[in-house]
Chains A and B, each alone.
Chain A
Amino acid sequence: MTDANDLRRRTRELLAAHPPATTDRKAFLEARFDAGLAWVHFPEGLGGLGLPRTLQSVVEAELAAAGAPDNDPRRIGIGLGMAAPTILQYGTEEQKRRFLRPLWLGEEVWCQLFSEPGAGSDLAALGTRAVKDGDTWVVNGQKVWTSSAHLARWAILIARTDPDVPKHRGITYFVCDMTDPGVEVRPLRQITGEAEFNEVFLSDVRIPDAHRLGEVGDGWRVAQTTLNNERVAIGGSPIPREGGMIGKVAATWRDRPDLRTHDLHQRLLDLWVEAEAARLTGARLRQQLVAGQPGPEGAGMKLSFARLNQQISGLEVELLGEEGLLYEDWTMVRPEQVNFTGRDAGYRYLRSKGNSIEGGTSEVLLNIVAERVLGLPAEPRTDKDVAWKDLAR
């Protein structure tokens, strides 16, 4: 509790020294980072205070109450959620100093160059090659489904550095400069009409060895940090009841009695209850973390939210009747940020289809729950002891 009070005091001091009303947004964010209030679980000097992650909610509550600007987390989700924890865990001191501050401030957007046309769920089968040439690595290959690549200054990249050993062992993890002349980003239009993700072609891209994260050949282990953070992704503060997509459809239901039918009513109530159950499960998970007793529940949260988002938005399109026949805008754009709940119901319905694919498909997550939580036998593996170059593809 003293930690929480101390944090509250520090946050108020920040607000007093840099009143949001009269302070430039950038200056405020810089001051916040330098006061260690950016992400309190990070070390001092790197935007944090070395405190438990759950205390972040104390800071957020104070800042929100004071109307302070934020770092627009939806624009920089991959940097905050995936690159930063990986750099923190595996980066050198120099890498941490170079990358974390502009990442958090939103000055530098990050993207994730993991998936390839031939390596999705089986990510470890990836074929992008990195070959050492003196102090640099020369990278060639193709990545795909790369969200925000068109905005990104940096990428986290995994590439094969040794094709002669089994697939998990020959991978190395890098930070890739997206302004390198060998990087070509082409938009990939998705079912929503827009192009949130891209294809990225890497031709003789040169990455200094100083931008390697972790040891050569240890990239799979480093990538686990990235992927685990992608899947957990629980926010600092609890979600209120009807937060998220269910709130949108509930509001429509209340405002538009003319649209109601008995069938939709029953389905809406079922989904409302399931959304509330998922919300409470998230709240319980957060309480477990605060109490220092993390449970395996996190693995299930993404499964629940993917299914719920899809069913709720599907119901909303049906509820809207004639409006459900329409779509806001199919124009091909390359959006600046990912917004699952933004735009109209039709967009939400289509975008949420990706929720059970991105960041590990629901099928793969069910395998993980079955094996790691329930202890059921692993899937048969025919590729474990085979050199990557000899795998079927």
Chain B
Amino acid sequence: MSAPATTPDLLYSQEEEDLRAAVRDLLADRCDAASVIARTESGEPHDRTLWKSLAEDMGLAGLLVPEERGGQGASHREAAVVLEELGRAVAPVPYLTSAVVATEALLACSGEEADRLLAALASGRTLGVLAVPLHTAPGAAVPTARVEAGALHGAFTGVADAQVADVLLVPGEDGALYAVDTTAGGVTVDPRVSFDLTRPVAAVTLDGAAARKVAGGAPEAVARALRAGAGLLASEQLGVAEQVLTETVGYLKERKQFNRQVGGFQAIKHRLARIWLDVVNLRAVARAAADALATGSEDAPTAVAVAQVFASRVAVHATEEAVQLHGGIGMTWEHPTHLHLKRAKVDSLAYGTAGRHKERLAELVDLRAPLA
């Protein structure tokens, strides 16, 4: 069994706390629940103005990109803090897909096209997504495009945030990674009715779409991208769970039935205390995963698998409890809890279910399945 040589840094630095405060301020101002709900029913599910503030004004799209490649030269630790806050607000921006997953795929590549795209994504002015289904686990096989005379053919479903992407990163059947502009001829992006309307998925069809080769080694780049996505997703799940806990505790301190605050009934207190304990544990595993990715630790695959197995249960459970403990209001479209519930549920599929990550973990820590 591999064991981490040193204990990861599980705290938040002062800079990380400052970053959190800045993002939280912006979201409090510009991403209230009512407007997120209203936007889910509009023709424009993504908030491009908010994205511009986060990415272009605050420079957050380039956190993972070294300065010499056009980014901020920060790390997964800072990106994780941003995702905690975005999760809390269920912000409809393509941060995870573009600034983490697509960016991480490009970080695995070198060459002119990779550098150009990386700088473009880091600036936030270009949005990129990896053309693989959102529920793909790191290391799993992905659909590839047929390559014919420099043009791509193929169908890709479940691609998150494709609707707002300027560029698609597409694995080719030849093992190379290609870039396709969504405005190019032969590209169709068909938005699907999505369970999580704040991170909608689309079906992408390429029918002789003009493509630029980014680099060889697509399988490795994709695996690396999905691993970073899975690891940092845990921080988003932490934000989701923490927010619904705060909201629910606040509501149940106010809400009175039987001439008492409902939050004073012991059955309720114990349920909330257990969620709190889950959130405390989730913070430790999410920080461990972010730190392992940031430091390039050998333990990163294990830390990521642990984080995903743990985070999916906690976020789903916390949001389900939140709906129940709000009573009838929790069932209404108007109340924000369903945004968190839907996000948590889809997050439990995103970048591999807990079950997929357990299979991987079984190999990593040598707790093998029964012999056939």
Q: Which residues of A contact B (CB under 8 A)?
A: 238, 240-242, 250, 253-254, 257, 260-262, 265-266, 268-270, 272-274, 276-278, 280-281, 283-284, 287-288, 291, 293, 297, 300, 303-304, 363, 366-367, 369-371, 373-380
Contacts and interface: CB of A to CB of B under 8 A. Distances in A.
A273 B370 contact: no
Interface string B278-297: 00111111011000000000
Given A250-B367, A291-B11, 5 more contacts: A260-B371, A268-B367, A272-B365, A278-B281, A376-B252
B122 interface: no
B148 interface: no
Contacts of B269: 366-367, 370-371, 374, 376
A278 B247 CA distance: 25
Main secondary structure of the interface of B (DSSP, over half): helix
Nearest to A247: B1
Contacts of A241: 1, 3-4
21 contacts: A238-B7, A241-B4, A242-B3, A269-B358, A270-B309, A272-B361, A273-B306, A273-B309, A273-B310, A281-B281, A284-B284, A284-B287, A288-B11, A293-B11, A300-B276, A367-B269, A367-B270, A369-B273, A376-B269, A377-B261, A378-B264
B274 to A, nearest CB: 7
Contacts of A303: 277
B189 to A, nearest CB: 37
Contact of B277 (A240, A269, A304): A304
Interface string B6-30: 0111110000000000000000000
A379 B260 CA distance: 11
Contacts of A304: 277, 281
Contacts of A238: 7
B285 A376 contact: no
B263 A376 contact: yes
A43 to B, nearest CB: 29
Contact of B10 (A253, A287, A375): A287
Interface string B233-270: 00000000000000001001100000011011010111
Contacts of A257: 368, 370-371
A254 B277 contact: no
A253 B9 CA distance: 31
B11 A377 contact: no
A366 B270 contact: yes
A238 B366 CA distance: 23
